């Protein structure tokens, strides 16, 4: 009995098995980590600085009209969005810390998957950590951006919302791109 012919790279016998699969690491590299940490650090710095300015210049409950329905109002919030879980600071601290750790692990494993991830997750993590620092240090978060028809919020909240919107937008665009590629007719040789 003769020995089977050696398999050549890229050759398959069933015509269904792909012979070339481009592989690239999906885990975050040094450049992605630098981007994430730079964005998160800038978000924390900006949020903490603005909260300090508001807390040192306005007494609790004081408001300064800026333009139209927009004011700067010094408010303390022990809960999360819209005052949910007010008074449950310990629970909010634990849940936030778990979420931040999960995002860091996810980023470590998938940070190179899309170029928007360092910025988007940097905003979400920076905003979350900044509010977490306030909850641990003060037992509350200082909110100050007030629009007449919306509860007061801060820069950290804005960063979180912008980061999540970027992530969702990226997912929607990626899904549309993949769907349009699947609908395209196959190229003929």
C-alpha distance from residue 142 to each of 18, 56, 75, 92, 98 (Å): 56, 11, 6, 15, 22
Q: How far apart are CA 153 and CA 109, in angstroms?
A: 32
Catalytic residue IDs: 143, 157
pLDDT of residue 119: 96
pLDDT of residue 86: 79
Instruction: Classify residue 169: in a domain, yes or no.
Output: yes
pLDDT of residue 144: 96
Instruction: Classify residue 78: in a domain, yes or no.
Output: yes
pLDDT of residue 184: 52
Q: Total domain count for the chain?
A: 1
Instruction: Classify residue 90: in a domain, yes or no.
Output: yes
Instruction: Classify residue 8: in a domain, yes or no.
Output: no
Q: How far apart are CA 154 and CA 75, in angstroms?
A: 10
Residues in the chain: 189
pLDDT of residue 73: 97
Instruction: Classify residue 73: in a domain, yes or no.
Output: yes
pLDDT of residue 182: 57
DSSP one-letter string for the chain: -PPPPPPPTT--SSS-S-S-------S--HHHHHHHHHHHHHHHHHHHHHHHHHHHHS-TT-EEEEETTEEEEEEEESSSGGGTTTT-HHHHHHHHHHHHHHHHHHHHHHTTS-TTHHHHHHHHHHHHHHHHHHHHHHSSEEEEEEETTEEEE-HHHHHHHHHHHHHHHHHHHHHHHHHHHHHSPPPP-
| Host domain of residue 101 | 30-179
pLDDT of residue 125: 97
pLDDT (tens place) for every residue of the chain, 189 residues total: 667 666 655 555 665 665 555 566 788 889 999 999 999 999 999 999 999 999 999 999 999 999 999 999 999 998 887 677 777 888 889 999 999 999 999 999 988 788 899 999 999 999 999 999 999 999 999 999 999 999 999 999 999 999 999 999 988 887 777 777 655 555 555
Instruction: Classify residue 82: in a domain, yes or no.
Output: yes
Instruction: Classify residue 12: in a domain, yes or no.
Output: no
pLDDT of residue 14: 62
pLDDT of residue 11: 55
pLDDT of residue 22: 57
Instruction: Classify residue 186: in a domain, yes or no.
Output: no
pLDDT of residue 85: 77
């Amino acid at each position: 009995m003769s020995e089977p012919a050696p398999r050549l790279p890229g050759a398959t016998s069933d015509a269904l098995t792909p012979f070339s699969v481009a592989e690239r690491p999906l885990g975050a590299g040094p450049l992605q980590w630098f981007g994430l940490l730079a964005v998160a650090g800038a978000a924390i710095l900006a949020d903490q600085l603005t909260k300090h300015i508001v807390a040192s210049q306005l007494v609790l409950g004081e408001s300064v009209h800026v333009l139209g329905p927009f004011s700067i109002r010094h408010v303390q919030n022990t809960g999360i969005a819209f005052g949910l879980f007010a008074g449950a600071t310990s629970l909010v601290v634990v849940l936030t810390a778990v979420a931040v750790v999960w995002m860091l692990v996810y980023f470590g494993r998938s940070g190179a998957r899309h170029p928007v991830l360092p910025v988007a997750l940097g905003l979400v993590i920076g905003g979350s950590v900044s509010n977490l620092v306030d909850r641990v240090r003060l037992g509350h978060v200082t909110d100050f951006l007030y629009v007449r028809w919306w509860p007061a919020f801060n820069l950290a909240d804005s960063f979180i919302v912008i980061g999540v919107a970027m992530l969702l937008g990226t997912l929607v665009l990626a899904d549309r791109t993949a769907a349009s590629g699947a609908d395209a007719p196959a190229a003929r040789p």
